[in-house]
Structure 1
Amino acid sequence: MMHHAKFSAFGSFAPKKILNNFDLEKIVDTTDEWIRTRTGMFERHICSPEEAASDLATQAAINAIEASSVKYKDIDMIICATISGDHPFPSTACIVQHRLGMKGFPAMDVSAGCTGFVYAVETARQFVENGTRQNVLVIGVDILTKITNWQDRNTCVLFGDGAGATILSRASSSDISRIIDVEIVADGSQGELLIQQAGGSRNPASHETVDKNLHTVYMEGNKIYKNAIKSMYSSSDELLRRNHLSTQDVDWIIPHQANLRIIEGLADKMKVPMSKVIVNIEKYGNTSSATIPIATDEAIRNKKIRRGDIILLTSFGAGLTWGSILARY
């Protein structure tokens, strides 16, 4: 028997410390006007030296569970999307499982860059729909400020830290909420456009890799910009066509919060007004796999997104990866 999966609830968490554009003016050669004009960002949340991905992920998970009708004992799987986990191993999902006082079920990480949350939701959906899991905790968390090159004014202004979570549950026959469809894609031939070059088995940590800043984010911004709009449009358009829907049927679009220009470019290409697009980039910057669940959680708590609304979540990231989720919340 095939089951349907649904979003039970969302939760999010960001560190207390805030770094705004005027603070950045003191660190690198930039201005508030330059950052706002090119990115739409004003401030971003920054982890303290003691904070790690699992700290943020655990709190986001607690907030999601508390916002739902799902009990802690009913969670039967954890999938964590991250590229900046506490350690290469064990997985951040396993650490969160322990922090939540849980055990005895699978927990794993998914690595798909900024598209990680979309990939993790699609992975969780398979387990719920095939009947093997009932309530999967899905988390998107990244601490990009710890792998940021603070000498590169083009990239250091972009990133913030944060975590967002959802519970993907089995929908009952009377539920209006359900995941309608998901599309995830990758093109590994363009992986060099967005990469952390050192720290893995290709370039293990050494004095040389540290001196050359190879443990930080490297990005070819212009090529990423063009790819981002085209790819998010492609996966979103595919979902709508496959399900015989148009953008007019969609109540809210929640895109990855990478850059306001990209978001506006996507809205323009999709021919939807910005009034239907959820944007919170000014307050958080780009938190990678956390942007979509944070933005969705805020929109639900602000009573923008309501039960029964058709929502379209779409993202793009390292890999290169991209994907979209079509759901009735």
Structure 2
Amino acid sequence: MPAMAPQLATRLGLGDVAAWDVNAACSGFLYRLATASGALLAHCADRVLLVAADVYSTLLDPDDRSAGIVFGDGAGAVVLHRGRSGEPGSVLAFDLGSDGSGDELIEVRGGGARERSAPDDFGPGDRHFRMRGREVFQHAVTRMTQSSQAVLKHAGWSPDDVDRFCAHQANARIVTAVGERVPVPGPRRVTNIDRVGNTGAAPIPIALADAASNSSPPSPHDPFTVSTRPGRTYQPCPRSRVSSPPCSPRSSRSPPRASCRTPRSNEEHETAKRTTVGALVAVLHSKRSERDAL
């Protein structure tokens, strides 16, 4: 304590708006998206700033090269609003799930409530991130494929309707394996892990931003996002056509009401990115300094 979201809202000058944290690790962005969509549909808000961020450098064991070379620190943000029927960028469907039986596949065993309750059962190494790579790969490919196919059916889409398949950037092999099984051809899979790494909750918004900025000329997309965390949560989500400025969307598919807003110009995009991420980094650094002081 305190929660991160209220501090971010204060630093952005948003006043006393509702703000809360959601902890779902690699599924964090999509679980936040589902939560934000629910808040909009319940008329709890007209707009939602959704931020996904993780600082893995504070958890990694410097001697564990198997994880140290894959994970990075990152943050991504989107703005959603309660839209109109047929509006581009609409959120169409979710497939939520969890599996607590695999919590040992990826974990930071110490540093939380369990260690405070029984400190003698933990050592210094228990505060580092640990992962069973082979088991994680098998779990992620199975869950992400099953969930992707389920939500496509729920949304009334076929794989051919997906213009961009944006999976959680765990590693390139997982993205490829899931894409082949859904199936979505390689050119329609969004990947940037070779440049950014696995940033926990943030890879999907970062990858979507990369895909939009690198589209030349900009074109409308039907993005489909999917993520999983072994032992915890998994969730895909399709969205109807999200336009990269300055183009117009081709058409809409379903009556949406929660929509992602794309900045209208490059200048607006850069200003929003600097403001949001700058405030977020400041909060992250202040929290880190407070912990180090303790």
Shorter-chain TM band: 0.7 to 0.9
List alignment gaps of at least 5 residues for structure 2: 243-294
Other structure's SS at 1:315 match:
strand
Q: 2:11 and 2:78 mapped to 1: Cα distance?
A: 17
Other structure's SS at 2:114 match:
coil
What is the aligned counterpart of 2:83 among 163, 171, 192? 171
Note if contact 1:114-1:318 (Cα within 8 Å) is conserved in structure 2. no
Note if contact 2:9-2:17 (Cα within 8 Å) is conserved in structure 1. no
What is the aligned counterpart of 1:116 among 25, 28, 40? 28
Matches within 5 A, 1:303-318: 303=215, 308-318=220-230
What is the aligned counterpart of 1:234 among 135, 146, 170? 146
Q: 1:262 and 1:111 mapped to 2: Cα distance?
A: 23
Q: 1:98 to 1:319 in 2, by over 3 A?
A: farther
Matches within 5 A, 1:5-84: none
Deviation string 1:12-32 (CA, Å, 9 cap, x unpaired) is xxxxxxxxxxxxxxxxxxxxx
Q: 1:100 to 1:267 in 2, by over 3 A?
A: same
Matches within 5 A, 1:281-292: 281-292=193-204
What is the aligned counterpart of 1:125 among 14, 25, 37? 37
Q: As a proportion of its length, which structure holds more helix?
A: 2
Offset at residue 303 of structure 1 (A): 2.5
Note if contact 2:61-2:128 (Cα within 8 Å) is conserved in structure 1. yes
Asked if residue 202 in structure 1 is aligned to residue 114 in structure 2, the reply is yes
Matches within 5 A, 1:185-200: 185-200=97-112
Q: 2:56 and 2:89 mapped to 1: Cα distance?
A: 33
Other structure's SS at 2:81 match:
strand
Q: As a proportion of its length, which structure holds more strand?
A: 1
Question: How many residue pairs were aligned?
Answer: 240
State the one-letter code of the partner of 1:325. C
Q: 1:250 to 1:282 in 2, by over 3 A?
A: same
What is the aligned counterpart of 1:146 among 58, 64, 76? 58
TM-score (norm 1): 0.69
2:213 match: 301
State the one-letter code of the partner of 1:220. R
1:273 match: 185
What is the aligned counterpart of 1:222 among 134, 148, 157? 134
Offset at residue 92 of structure 1 (A): 1.2
1:248 match: 160
Other structure's SS at 2:104 match:
helix
State the one-letter code of the partner of 2:162. V
Q: Cα RMSD between the aligned structures?
A: 1.9
Q: 2:8 and 2:196 mapped to 1: Cα distance?
A: 23
Q: 2:82 and 2:28 mapped to 1: Cα distance?
A: 22
List alignment gaps of at least 5 residues for structure 1: 1-88
1:101 match: 13
Note if contact 1:228-1:262 (Cα within 8 Å) is conserved in structure 2. yes
Q: 1:127 and 1:144 mapped to 2: Cα distance?
A: 29
Note if contact 1:112-1:319 (Cα within 8 Å) is conserved in structure 2. no
User: Once the two structures are aligned, what percentage of the paired residues are identical?
Assistant: 30
Note if contact 2:152-2:159 (Cα within 8 Å) is conserved in structure 1. yes
Q: Higher relative contact order by CA 8 Å / sep ≥ 6: 1 or 2?
A: 2
Offset at residue 184 of structure 1 (A): 1.6
Q: 1:99 and 1:209 mapped to 2: Cα distance?
A: 36
State the one-letter code of the partner of 1:229. V
